[in-house]
Amino acid sequence: MNKITKKRTTRGTIAALAVIGITLGATAGACSSDSKKSGQAKDTQTLSAVRKAAQTAVPYPLADVKRGGFLERRLLKENLLRQNDPKRLAYVTLLTDQGQIVATYPIQGMVFNLNSQLTTTQQVECHGSDCGGGGVLDSIGDNGTFGTEPHSIAFFTTNGVEVKWSGTYLESDAPLDLKSKPLLTYNVNQAPSVNHGGVKSTP
């Protein structure tokens, strides 16, 4: 009986020590986590106090912005309406990296990016009825191939000629008074070899 009691006592002591060790470890981890959270909480409180103090000292000038009629929004609206006006006449000047004039064209409509497309650029590829394991893939382009187009802009002249350019350019709603001679001269009698009706030449 004494041996059994001793063995049980020893086992009980070991189990108790193990529980104490686990408890101490958990407590230490909790303290460390609480300490970390406490530091983050203090930073959050400090930043919140700074924000409130800044807003109180210099409040948002809502009344002044209202009086201005939200100018930037109105300018963006005007830009959007002009860009989408098919009757818009604009002028594009192509420039070298050094600022030398290459050519100037009267254009119809707007300058556009060749990497814009009519369909979505990405799509979700599903596997199984619940799309498990699916992923986002690049969509096929409008022309039926994959990959980006040349990194260029393009526009149509008033005669319907498409011009593509990968350098610096300047666009305006009215002719600019250019002081230097361009490297290329635009022929107003030029016409495209094909025309699918998307752009009508200006008489």
* Residue 189 and residue 178 in one domain: yes
Residue 81 domain-assigned?
Answer: no
Let me know if residue 78 belongs to a domain: no
178 to each of 6, 106, 129, 181, how far by Cα in Å?
106, 14, 63, 8
**Whole domain around residue 30: which residue ranges?**
1-57
Residue 141 within a domain = yes
Q: What does the pLDDT read at residue 163? A: 94
Tell me: pLDDT of 143 over 80: no
Distance CA 19, CA 76 (A): 68
Kindly tell me if the per-residue pLDDT of 49 is higher than 60: yes
pTM: 0.60
Hunting for tokens 């958990």 — which residue is that? 26
- Chain segment 69-122, per-residue pLDDT in tens: 999 999 999 999 999 998 899 999 999 998 899 999 999 889 999 888 888 888
CB atoms within 10 A of CB 159: 19
Q: Model confidence at 56, in pLDDT bands (50, 70, 90)?
A: very high
Indicate if 9 and 36 belong to the same structural domain: yes
Give the highest mean pLDDT range of 32-41, 97-106, 144-153, 173-182: 97-106
Task: Determine the pLDDT at residue 117.
Answer: 83
Q: Mean pLDDT highest for which of 26-35, 55-64, 112-121? A: 55-64
Selected residue with higher pLDDT from 21 and 197? 197
Q: Please, are residues 160 and 192 in contact by the beta-carbon 8 Å criterion? A: yes
Whether the Cβ atoms of residue 107 and residue 92 lie closer than 8 Å to each other:
yes
Q: Is the pLDDT of residue 25 over 80?
A: no
Asked, for residue 186, whether it belongs to a domain, the answer is yes
Contact present, 93 and 169 (Cβ < 8 Å): yes
